[in-house]
A and B are shown apart, each in its own frame.
Chain A
């Protein structure tokens, strides 16, 4: 366990190196947030919906703030496979899946927290109707934080499954891009899942992609009342178990067949 923790810590330190590039990223993300909110405000002005506008605004800010949690992948592994230095990793007395799981989790946590904190501060200073609103209640906040943690475990497991494909094909850009883009749409980043047709939502919210950010946000805004939170947490837990099991299986299988390049 200790070794995985240190893999986590090392990766976190590396992610912290890029503070300069981060500022530009934050400003860019804020502009995107403002554009989306302006769009939804105009749409709501024409035809108000049962879902309050303030919930949509909060949804957009939380999505933008934790954007980095969705799209952050580890480019090292691909390089290692291409250059053959994956051999060193195979020599470590560690489970490779766990090692990369810890790394990707560190990257996602650090990357998103560094951006989320300043962005959410900014969003909370904006006037009513533009800024983020407070959580529905204290239990709702705590539950949504718990759901966010579970969502993080879920997205890291997903990322590891994508990486398992990397081991097989030397050019994984196609598969990787497709999985990432599916994630953008189905996690509610392009359009809040709460604005999807109601009949679609019943299915989409069950998919793993909805567990990453959509589930915690719904708890935060109170769209899902505290009493029903157990259902979300249960779905998340089931997905984590399934995705990790699938990932471990794929990694073990591909690891046996891996062909070392270079030399």
Chain B
């Protein structure tokens, strides 16, 4: 509970910092809108040209794009400490100051940054979700709301874990590790569309290794009423737990890596 209070407190402080330069903040927020708007325009144009992919129609595609976009940018907004400059903290040796304080490393890093500029990205994702729900005529039930909430929450956990991998690499090699981006940003790009349209290697990569498909696509397909691979209903609630398991494994690896951590910098 104390940790949550600490987190909320730092968020409030950091938000204030960001708003110190309102004009610059406004422009950067607008830039985010251009970025995510561009991505969504690509989806609109693709639907305009191709109508559908396999069994997935326009509404479904908007929904898949929306759920990914909302999840990813909620994470980038509130987990900026981890998704942003974690490797930088390690490279410059700033992690040392964190080690001195009586709180967990990840908690402190998580509390170190927030990125409210992403609000426009989240808004674009939400619009896409609403369009998707309308076009696909989704009948909302209590269970579907629950599935959606679980998917977004555990999706955020999964994405945080992917960025912690980057930090782990950094502890061992102190180099920039664009390689991990293939999993995190690559996963985002790929899984803006339903997983079953991809060939087997990519399906395995984003199901078994970075389980975006289990966490986001299985519940999304359930909400849309077109179960993925015709799996039974309960899988929509069980599969997303893969995100938590994934985070657990990465967390253990991170603890191990921290023991290896040797300060850089002076």
Contacts and interface: CB of A to CB of B under 8 A. Distances in A.
B49 A195 contact: yes
Contacts of A25: 178
Contact of B45 (A28, A41, A195): A195
B38 A171 contact: no
A41 to B, nearest CB: 8
Interface stretch (A69-77, A176-184, A245-253): A176-184
Nearest to A35: B190
Given A43-B53, A171-B21, A24 B46 contact: no
B143 interface: no
Interface residues of A, number: 36
Contacts of A182: 34, 38
A46 B49 contact: no
B45 A174 contact: no
Nearest to A178: B31
Interface string A19-43: 0110011011001101110110111
A174 B30 contact: yes
Contacts of B38: 181-182, 184-185, 190
A47 B26 contact: no
A17 interface: no
Contacts of A38: 190, 197-199, 202
Identify whether the interface residues of A are mostly helix, strand, loop, or mixed: helix
B134 interface: no
Given A35-B190, A171-B21, A178 B51 contact: no
Interface residues of B, number: 39
B45 A178 contact: no
Given A46-B53, A181-B34, A190-B39, A197 B48 contact: yes
B24 interface: yes
A190 B42 CA distance: 7
B190 A178 contact: no
Interface in B37-63: 38-39, 41-42, 45-46, 48-54
A175 interface: yes
Interface of A: 20-21, 24-25, 27-28, 31-32, 34-36, 38-39, 41-44, 46-47, 49, 169, 171, 173-175, 177-178, 181-182, 184-185, 190-191, 195-197
14 contacts: A24-B176, A24-B177, A35-B189, A39-B197, A42-B198, A43-B53, A171-B24, A173-B28, A174-B30, A175-B27, A177-B27, A182-B34, A184-B38, A190-B38
Given A32-B189, A174-B26, A191-B42, 12 more contacts: A21-B178, A27-B179, A28-B185, A31-B182, A35-B202, A36-B189, A42-B54, A44-B50, A173-B27, A184-B35, A191-B46, A196-B45
